[in-house]
Amino acid sequence: MPFPAFENQKEHPLTKIMEKHFRVFATCDIGEAINLLRERGYEVEVYPHPEAPPKSFIIEKVRSGIDGLITTLRDQIDAEIFEAGKGHLKVVAQYAVGFDNINRGDANRYKIPFTNTADVLTEATAEFAFFMMGELARRMWTAEHLTRENNWGYWHPYLPFLGDEVTGKTVAVIGTGRIGLAFIKKCVGFDMNILCYDPAYQNHEFVKSIQEMLDLRHARGLVKERPWIKYVSFEDAVRQADFVSVHVPLLRKGESDTPTYHLFNEHTLGDMKSTAYLINTSRGPVIDEAALARALRENWIAGAALDVYEKEPLPPDSPLRDPVIADRCRLMPHFASAARITRLSPDPDRGMAGRCVQGLRDVLEGHCGGDVTKMPYVVNKEAFAR
């Protein structure tokens, strides 16, 4: 039993919760944070394999009467799941900030709140995007291969290849939500000029503060030329940048007035400078991969570094694996948030695991007076507004 130490459980503050005896299924192991639930009397079943469970398996678990479902971006959560949970499923807690795998319309129709793990992975993702930018432009992967494969040979002013500096260059930040803004903060230290674009949300206050910081660095003689930051149109951002870093959510046609699906396609990639680099840590389908592979093969752009793909894991026959473009195309395994504390800390203010569990508990245990619209990690509050 979860609380053998409590002899008179009726008097313990957790009694109410224990009587409810919530049942939860997690589609993957999120570590120690699961124990927080078990210690509170929850019955938690964790899918024991590293790969995602088949959808039919999730449906079967949901149909068995669970109260809460812990999901990752690998699980397709839609009407089929909500239908299976009719009458008992109360919350879907997504272990990720992105939730394009959850059909929001369906969740709203079935009145199931879902939560995400925003904030705790902001810095990890932003710094990873920044490091990818540096690795790509300075050709670190190719350089290390050269050393490891004993092809170093000699030191020479420009052989076998050179890279491009990041410092002082112009970067376009596509999407100025949390992660885009965190990425901008990192660019300040590298004296970059910053072109911001966001179709939905423009944080002019933030941009003003960054300009003040850039001005101070200039005034104190830390940087020779005064760097700048400004909001511009998508076209201007893409055309003027030396680096383009993508930080938008995936929104397909019909999901938003400003969809982001294939925002980077043959047309927009063709607008980039031939010396420019593209970095994507957001969602794969924001970039048309066939178009990107062509852009790299035909030298429309200098390089790309990707952490996310149209299909994950990246299929063996992806055009992005073409050896011809290998030294200009960095491919990461959806890894940007993969820092120890970011992924696994059970502290809801530090880790995705902790925040995921907290979101689940908020709904099941009726925190915030049971008002879903006041629960900080619930995404689809609109479904519960009175």
Query: In whole angstroms, how close is the CB of 170 to ligand GLV at the nearest point?
Result: 27
Measured from the CB atom, is 118 or 229 closer to ligand GLV? Answer: 118
Q: What are phi and psi of 244, to 5 degrees?
A: -125, 120
Window contacting ligand GLV (CB under 6 A); options: 6-14, 20-28, 91-99, 135-143:
91-99
| CA dist., res. 220 & res. 212, Å (int) | 12
Q: In the bound complex, what is the minimum distance in angstroms from residue 103's beta carbon to ligand GLV?
A: 16
Active-site residue, 217 included: no
CB of 27 to ligand GLV, least distance (A): 14
Of 92-100, 137-145, 212-220, 340-348, the window that binds ligand GLV (rule: CB under 6 A) is: 92-100
Residues numbered 202 to 261 that lie near ligand GLV (CB under 6 A) are: none
Residue 98 binds ligand GLV, judged by CB under 6 A: yes
Find the binder of ligand GLV among 96, 126, 173, 251 (CB under 6 A): 96
Q: Which of 40, 328, 330, 334 is catalytic?
A: 334
Window 99 to 158, contacts with ligand GLV (CB under 6 A): 121
Q: Which residue has the tokens 């059970």?
A: 346
Report d(CA 362, CA 120) in Å as an integer: 17
- Least distance between ligand GLV and beta carbon 96 (Å): 3
Q: Is 383 helix (H, G, I), strand (E, B) or coil?
A: helix
Tokens at 63, concatenated: 């149909």
Residue with smaller CB distance to ligand GLV, 207 or 332: 332
C-alpha R_g of the chain: 23
Candidates 95-103, 148-156, 194-202, 295-303: pick the segment binding ligand GLV (CB under 6 A): 95-103
* Cβ(85)–Cβ(57) below 8 Å: no
Residues of this chain, 71-90, that bind ligand GLV according to CB under 6 A? 73
Least distance (Å) from ligand GLV to the CB of residue 243? 21
State the catalytic residue, choosing from 39, 45, 144, 312.
Answer: 312
Quick one: how far is CA 117 from the chain centroid?
Answer: 10
Shortest Å, Cβ 252 to ligand GLV: 16
Q: x/- site string to ligand GLV, residues 46 to 75, per CB under 6 A?
A: ---------------------------x--
Q: What is the number of other CB atoms lying within 10 angstroms of the CB of residue 56?
A: 9
How many Å apart are CA 53 and CA 77, to the nearest integer? 12
How far from the centroid of its chain's Cα atoms is residue 139's Cα?
24
Phi, psi of 94 (to 5 degrees): -90, 125
337 binds ligand GLV (CB under 6 A): yes
Minimum CB–partner distance for residue 308 and ligand GLV (Å): 7
367 is catalytic: no
Decide whether 28 or 73 has the Cβ nearer to ligand GLV: 73
Q: Which stretch binds ligand GLV (CB under 6 A): 93-101, 167-175, 199-207, 369-377?
A: 93-101
Identity at 373, one-letter amino acid code: T
Is position 283 annotated as part of the catalytic site? yes
Q: How far is the CB of 138 from ligand GLV (least distance, A)?
A: 25
Count other Cβ atoms within 10 Å, centred on residue 87: 5
CA 281 to CA 298: how far, in whole Å? 23
Nearer to ligand GLV, 96 or 278 (CB): 96
Whether 91 and 377 have beta carbons less than 8 Å apart is answered as no
Residues 6+ apart with CB under 8 A from 80: 55, 59
Question: Which residue in 139, 247, 262, 283 is the catalytic one?
Answer: 283
CA atoms within 13 A on the CB side of 15: 8
- Token reading at 130: 């920044």
Q: Which residues contact 247 (CB under 8 A, 6 or more apart)?
A: 129, 173, 174, 175, 176, 177, 179, 180, 183, 281, 282
Q: Are 305 and 277 in contact (CB under 8 A)?
A: yes
Q: What are phi and psi of 75, to 5 degrees?
A: -100, 130
- Give 240 or 256: the residue with its C-beta nearer to ligand GLV: 256
Compare residues 97 and 302 and give the one whose CB is closer to ligand GLV: 97
Q: Is 97 in the site for ligand GLV (CB under 6 A)?
A: yes
Catalytic (active-site) positions: 283, 312, 334
Residues that bind ligand GLV (CB under 6 A): 73, 96-98, 121, 337
